[in-house]
């Protein structure tokens, strides 16, 4: 874990892969719930030699509540893959608490907060500015330094896993550098700010 | 403003009838009366949704009690856009230090508001603080807070009535109903 990943202080909008994540972070900030963005990468599949084949980095960790949150505003075909990953995560790390927020949950949340008009702009491909590599199933993020956060502490799940070593992307799948991810995230946040001015 | 007749027709299904609500509120009142016997209770209602529930519940509690009201801003509200933080729009009118407090909520969904309120109220050093929620919707719960008294656990649906609103309307329905999707989708 780096200083960048755990630095306390005001949240920056940059670094999110999807506009819905930026909106979710704003909701957490509003209710003064500490959060970290993608602070952990959990290996969930290994080959016979012990090499990590597949990993999963939940979107948010709420340290005070000791729960991970994974947001998805994707179509159902991709949600099934994410469901499988979450099931696998729960099997391998039974002490870990993770909440999966589906598109319908996010939509309901927006409705509740009077932001229903933003749902289509913050959902699925509309809110996505990077190819959703997670949905493809095998890309390991390498480490958690792309994460943001308001909390400087790590609680539940902190010692469950070490950051996984990077594995090669599948054929035809381009792995983005961290700086490219950040640039894309900043564009996402900028887009979110445009549609949801505060 | 919508005519009253429209309010009812906007409801797809009556989830909890007036009779069911009355019976449950009476039952909760009896339970609370027993649990707090010999003590003085302060009921804190969270505006605006819990107002009808609070009004009915307090009349089923046979204890010396005080009532107080709080209102907090909700995410997305225009009054909070400058700060980006939840704000206390109406604070308690009397100290609760050393008192037994029962927070009365209409519905618990994500638990974010409740989590904030409990932290805030604990800062005022009450003797105890418990939660009484008419409706518990656990589908999207983010913050697991023990609910001491629960009226009904409900499915993941957009409900209105008996204090619950959509766009500040429908609070005056005497039942809890599921709003037709076309109402909020439009």
Integer Cα distance of A187 and B179 in angstroms: 36
Integer Cα distance of A22 and A20 in angstroms: 5
pLDDT, tens only, B120-133: 999 999 999 999 99
**What are the boundaries of each domain within chain B?**
18-154
Chain B positions touching A11 (Cβ under 8 A) are none
pLDDT, tens only, B54-70: 999 999 999 999 999 99
By the 8 A CB rule, do B4 and B173 touch?
no
Of B85, B158, B167, the CB nearest to A32: B85
Is residue B100 annotated as part of the catalytic site, yes or no? no
B30 against A17, higher pLDDT: B30
| Residue A78, pLDDT score | 72
Of B80, B140, B141, the CB nearest to A109: B140
| Residue A80, pLDDT score | 86
**Mean of all residue pLDDT scores within chain A:** 66
Which among B78, B89, B110 is the top mutation candidate for probing chain A, defined by the most A β-carbons within 10 Å of its own β-carbon?
B110
Half-sphere exposure of A56 (CA within 13 A, CB side): 24
Once rounded to an integer, what is the mean pLDDT over residues A81-87? 90
Integer Cα distance of B68 and A96 in angstroms: 39
Instruction: Give counts: helices (H), strands (E), chain A.
Output: 7, 6
Integer Cα distance of B106 and B109 in angstroms: 10
Number of domains in chain A: 1
By the 8 A CB rule, do A27 and B77 touch?
no
What residues make up the domain containing A79? 3-195
Examine the predicted complex and report whether its ipTM is higher than 0.90.
no
One of B100, B109, B136, B156 is an active-site residue; which one?
B109
pLDDT, tens only, B85-124: 888 999 999 999 999 999 999 999 999 999 999 999 999 9
A-B C-beta contacts closer than 8 Å: 60
Q: Which of residues 35-94 of B touch A (CB under 8 A)?
A: 74-77, 80-81, 84-86
Distance from CA of A107 to the nearest CA of B (A): 11
The rounded Cα A166 to chain-centroid distance in angstroms is 17
Report the CATH fold assignment for B18-154: Rossmann fold (3.40.50)
Is A32 touching B (CB cutoff 8 A)? yes
Instruction: Give counts: helices (H), strands (E), chain B.
Output: 5, 9
The alpha carbons of chain A give a radius of gyration, in whole angstroms, of 16
Give Cβ neighbours of residue A112 (< 8 Å, ≥ 6 apart): B109
């Amino acid at each position: 874990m780096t200083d960048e990943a755990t630095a306390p202080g005001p949240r920056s909008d940059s670094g999110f892969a999807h506009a819905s994540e930026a909106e979710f972070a704003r909701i957490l900030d509003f209710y003064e719930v500490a959060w970290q963005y993608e602070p952990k990468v959990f290996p969930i599949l290994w080959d016979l030699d012990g090499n990590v084949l597949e990993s999963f980095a939940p979107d948010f960790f709420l340290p005070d509540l000791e729960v991970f949150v994974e947001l998805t505003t994707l179509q159902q075909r991709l949600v099934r893959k994410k469901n499988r990953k979450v099931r696998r995560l729960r099997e391998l790390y039974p002490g870990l608490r993770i909440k999966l927020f589906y598109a319908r949950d996010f939509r309901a949340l927006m409705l509740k907060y009077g932001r229903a008009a933003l749902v289509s702009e913050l959902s699925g491909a509309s809110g996505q500015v990077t190819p959703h590599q997670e949905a493809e199933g095998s890309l390991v993020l390498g480490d958690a330094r792309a994460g943001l956060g308001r909390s400087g502490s790590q609680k539940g799940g902190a010692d469950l896993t070490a950051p996984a070593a990077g594995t090669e992307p599948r054929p035809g799948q381009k792995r983005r550098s961290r700086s490219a991810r950040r640039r894309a995230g900043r564009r996402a946040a900028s887009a979110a700010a445009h549609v949801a001015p505060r | 403003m919508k005519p009253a007749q429209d309010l009812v027709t906007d409801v797809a299904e009556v989830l909890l009838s007036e009779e069911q609500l009355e019976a449950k509120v009476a039952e909760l009142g009896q339970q609370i009366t027993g649990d707090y016997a010999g003590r003085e209770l302060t009921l804190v209602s969270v505006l605006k949704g819990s107002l009808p529930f609070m009004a009915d519940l307090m009349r089923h509690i046979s204890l010396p009690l005080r009532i107080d009201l709080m209102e907090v801003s909700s995410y997305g509200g225009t009054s909070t856009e400058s700060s980006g933080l939840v704000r206390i729009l109406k604070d308690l009118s009397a100290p609760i230090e050393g008192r037994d407090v029962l927070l009365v909520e209409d519905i618990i969904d994500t638990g974010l508001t409740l989590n904030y309120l409990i932290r805030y109220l604990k800062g005022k050093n009450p003797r105890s603080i418990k939660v009484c929620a008419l409706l518990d919707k656990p589908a999207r719960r983010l913050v697991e807070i023990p609910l001491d008294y629960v009226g009904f656990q409900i499915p993941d649906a957009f409900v209105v009535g008996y204090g619950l609103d959509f766009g500040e309307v429908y609070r005056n329905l005497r039942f809890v109903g599921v709003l037709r999707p076309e109402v909020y989708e439009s």
